[in-house]
């Protein structure tokens, strides 16, 4: 995987985005740096969860953890999905 800066989100960006960005709920335009991209890299599971929770709030939907894959006692993979998935 390529660790390009375009696939990384600064945690300060997440903390400050609610204050600095105005969102029109009827059109739902979200700054591109807060939109998930293929091959995004997160240092921790918590960081990924925070990113997706933040993105879902900006885009006016909520998320859930749909599936978790374990490797012995550690989480190997976690699938985050829209709560209205399949409806």
Q: What distance lies between CA 34 and its chain's CA centroid?
A: 7
Between 2 and 10, the more confident residue is 10
Q: What is the largest CA-CA distance in the chain?
A: 45
Q: How far apart are CA 87 and CA 37, in angstroms?
A: 23
pLDDT in tens, 12-22: 555 555 454 44
Prediction pTM value: 0.57
Calculated CA dihedral for residues 78, 55, 15, 8, nearest 10 degrees? 60
């Amino acid at each position: 995987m390529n660790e390009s800066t375009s696939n990384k989100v600064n945690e300060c960006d997440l903390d400050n985005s609610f204050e600095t960005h105005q969102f029109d709920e009827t059109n739902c335009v979200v700054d591109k740096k807060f939109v998930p991209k293929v091959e995004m890299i997160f240092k921790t599971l918590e960081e990924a969860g925070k990113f997706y929770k933040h993105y879902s709030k900006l885009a006016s939907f909520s998320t859930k953890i749909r599936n978790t894959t374990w490797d012995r006692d550690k989480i190997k993979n976690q699938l985050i999905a829209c709560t209205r998935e399949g409806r």
